[in-house]
A and B are shown apart, each in its own frame.
Chain A
Amino acid sequence: MTDRRDALKRMAAAVGALTLAGCDKLSSTEWFPKVLGVGETLSAKIAPLIAGRKAMAQEFTPADLSPQFRSNGTAKPMNAQYDALAAGNFADYALVVDGLVERPQRLSLTELRALPSRTQITRHDCVEGWSAIGKWKGARLSAVLNAAGLKPGARYIVFHCYDPMEEDGSSPYYESIDLDDAFHEQTLLAYELNDQPLPVKNGAPIRLRVERQLGYKMAKYVMRLEAVESFASIHGGNGGYWEDQGYQWYAGI
């Protein structure tokens, strides 16, 4: 009886170990992550059907604010050009808007502040699992895009950022969103956090707010917006720095 029990235990352990090793092996193949990607495609397709394309993220009251809004990822870009701008309090900063647009733009912070704005208290959900609540004020991205005028082929907006993700200064952070998110009422180019100019650790002078997605979509230190038909030829081709590391492009979940 003990022999049989031991054999059974060993068998269970062996099956477990094989299964685990199998899972790890599958994870590192070329094809299996693509199969798993079907889950992302389904989630991305079905969420708008359930939630509606224009549905609004929940907004909170000042009582709900986090005392400190956590900084994650880059806290200060390792970039001489950025340092120079920061030293001048971003007076020389200009947001470039180009790509598939009728009227390319260069917008200073003063010009961005003059655009139609929105103020919202929202919950920021990080892919790691934590949430923080902050009050954001910024130019509506729709106003910027309307000023530039999208050409018919434009399907995504790509955000190019000042912060390199490698120590040697390469691999700049970037992100991309579709036009549903780009023209959403709560999508902002934020320049204020909790009634103060956006701090460097949270993405000064401009960070994106896309309230229906996870934090990594909300690019900090935004330098340039590019309207594109496809992001396949940009950096790793997956539409964002973290996406190039294997994270989902659809971060609504």
Chain B
Amino acid sequence: MPEPASRLYYRHRLPVRIMHWINVVAITILFMSGLNIFEGHPSLYWGQNSYSGRPAWLQIGARETDTGAMGFTRILGREIDTTGVLGLRETGDGYSPYAFPGWLTIPGYYSLAMARSWHFFFAWVFLINGLCYVLYTIWSRHLARDLWPTRDDVRGIGASVVDHLKFRHPKGEAAKRYNVLQKLVYLIVIFVLLPLIVMMGLAMSPRLDTVFTGWVGLFGGRQSARSIHFIVAWLLFGFVAIHVFEVIVTGLWNNLRSMITGRYRVPQEAGHD
């Protein structure tokens, strides 16, 4: 049954919708090609140096045991058997020693050269799109009006946490706005995690290290930058997982439509239907 037009609320403007979907493509490719790049040296360190005498804090690899090959993940000195998931990749005829499964990487086979080409092309797409978004969000007052928490929002944080845990979704007028947790998470992702992951990417570039002598050291050094880049990538993965989960449980088609056509059907409060 077609929705009565009066119930559809225009929630996302065209520039935001376009930039959102460009970002989906860019972030997905950056994440997956990044994992392929990680395969080149699947160990992470703190400091400037991988060979300082201190061990890696994270290492994903494979080794021979009495019972055959084993995939392992060594984190902070503890080794975990991760055969088939991490360290050993399932291929057609057995296992091969790669940190991540092929379906999680771009390309699906190990190619550092090709993965770098994908990564650095979509890094530009992401960066330009992201800068346009930030400028637009300030200029259009999207930031001030929709994203910045109000005083009431801040007072309602506790209640919002409870609502989320009970899967109680806002209805009526409240459903037209972002809730306070959503606002805070969006702000942290947009203004902390994404700029941080870009900075850590730039910190790994030997050419951009020369912009100010020692700037990479402020983040702990190039290998720390590589570690932080990796950690933030997985934090963003976590954000996307929760984001997609919330999109599904609060009405997949309605949410999708609102990010494609802009129009969102406002869930009515009890008694209105």
- B-binding residues in A (CB < 8 A): 8, 16-17, 20-21, 23-24, 27, 33, 35-40, 42-43, 47, 50-52, 55-58, 60, 64, 66-70, 123, 125-133, 211-214, 242, 245-248, 251-253
Q: With A214-B206, A252-B206, A252-B208 in contact, do A66 and B226 touch (Cβ < 8 Å)?
A: no
A82 to chain B, nearest CB (A): 26
B117 in the interface, Cβ–Cβ < 8 Å?
yes
Q: Which of B112, B205, B210, B214 contacts A128 (CB 8 A)?
A: B112
Q: What are 18 of the A-B contact pairs (CB < 8 Å)?
A: A20-B106, A21-B108, A23-B107, A24-B109, A39-B123, A51-B207, A58-B214, A66-B49, A123-B48, A123-B222, A131-B48, A212-B209, A246-B113, A247-B113, A247-B116, A248-B116, A248-B117, A252-B206
B213 in the interface, Cβ–Cβ < 8 Å?
yes
B51 touches A132 (CB 8 A): yes
Give 9 closest A-B pairs by Cβ, nearest first: A252-B207, A39-B121, A129-B41, A55-B210, A246-B113, A128-B40, A130-B50, A66-B51, A36-B117
Q: In the complex, what residue of chain A is closest to B41 when comparing beta carbons? A: A129
- Roughly how many angstroms separate A251 CA and B41 CA in the complex, as a whole number? 17
**Residues of A contacting B222 with CB < 8 Å?**
123, 125, 131
A127 touches B40 (CB 8 A): yes
**Residues of A contacting B208 with CB < 8 Å?**
47, 50-51, 252-253
A138 to chain B, nearest CB (A): 18
**Residues of B contacting A8 with CB < 8 Å?**
252
Q: In the complex, what residue of chain B is closest to A16 when comparing beta carbons? A: B103
- Roughly how many angstroms separate A180 CA and B64 CA in the complex, as a whole number? 47
A36 touches B118 (CB 8 A): yes
B200 to chain A, nearest CB (A): 13
A167 to chain B, nearest CB (A): 21
- Roughly how many angstroms separate A118 CA and B183 CA in the complex, as a whole number? 54
Most buried by B among A8, A213, A253: A253
**Residues of A contacting B51 with CB < 8 Å?**
66-70, 130-133
- Roughly how many angstroms separate A56 CA and B210 CA in the complex, as a whole number? 6
Q: With A52-B210, A211-B206, A212-B206 in contact, do A20 and B108 touch (Cβ < 8 Å)?
A: yes
B210 touches A51 (CB 8 A): yes
B72 in the interface, Cβ–Cβ < 8 Å?
no
A67 touches B106 (CB 8 A): no
A195 to chain B, nearest CB (A): 18
**Residues of B contacting A68 with CB < 8 Å?**
51
- A-binding residues in B (CB < 8 A): 29, 37-38, 40-41, 43, 48-53, 103, 106-109, 111-114, 116-118, 120-124, 204-211, 213-214, 216-217, 222-223, 226, 252
B210 touches A125 (CB 8 A): no
**Residues of A contacting B109 with CB < 8 Å?**
24
A207 to chain B, nearest CB (A): 16
**Residues of B contacting A252 with CB < 8 Å?**
205-208
If A66-B49, A67-B51, A67-B53 are given as contacts, then 4 extra A-B residue pairs at C-beta distance below 8 Å, sorted by A number, are: A23-B107, A27-B114, A58-B214, A128-B40
A56 to chain B, nearest CB (A): 6
A56 touches B213 (CB 8 A): yes
A72 to chain B, nearest CB (A): 10
A213 touches B107 (CB 8 A): no
- Roughly how many angstroms separate A69 CA and B52 CA in the complex, as a whole number? 10
**Residues of A contacting B217 with CB < 8 Å?**
58
- Roughly how many angstroms separate A33 CA and B205 CA in the complex, as a whole number? 21
A58 touches B210 (CB 8 A): yes
Most buried by A among B38, B122, B207, B214: B207
Q: In the complex, what residue of chain B is closest to A215 when comparing beta carbons? A: B206
B162 to chain A, nearest CB (A): 26
B166 to chain A, nearest CB (A): 20
B213 touches A58 (CB 8 A): yes
- Roughly how many angstroms separate A252 CA and B216 CA in the complex, as a whole number? 15
Most buried by B among A17, A51, A131, A132: A131
- Roughly how many angstroms separate A68 CA and B111 CA in the complex, as a whole number? 28
A52 to chain B, nearest CB (A): 7
Q: With A43-B120, A129-B40 in contact, do A213 and B206 touch (Cβ < 8 Å)?
A: yes
**Residues of A contacting B120 with CB < 8 Å?**
36, 39-40, 43, 248, 253
Q: With A35-B121, A50-B208, A246-B111 in contact, do A129 and B116 touch (Cβ < 8 Å)?
A: no
- Roughly how many angstroms separate A216 CA and B105 CA in the complex, as a whole number? 24
Q: In the complex, what residue of chain A is closest to B205 when comparing beta carbons? A: A253
Q: With A40-B120, A130-B41, A131-B223 in contact, do A253 and B103 touch (Cβ < 8 Å)?
A: no
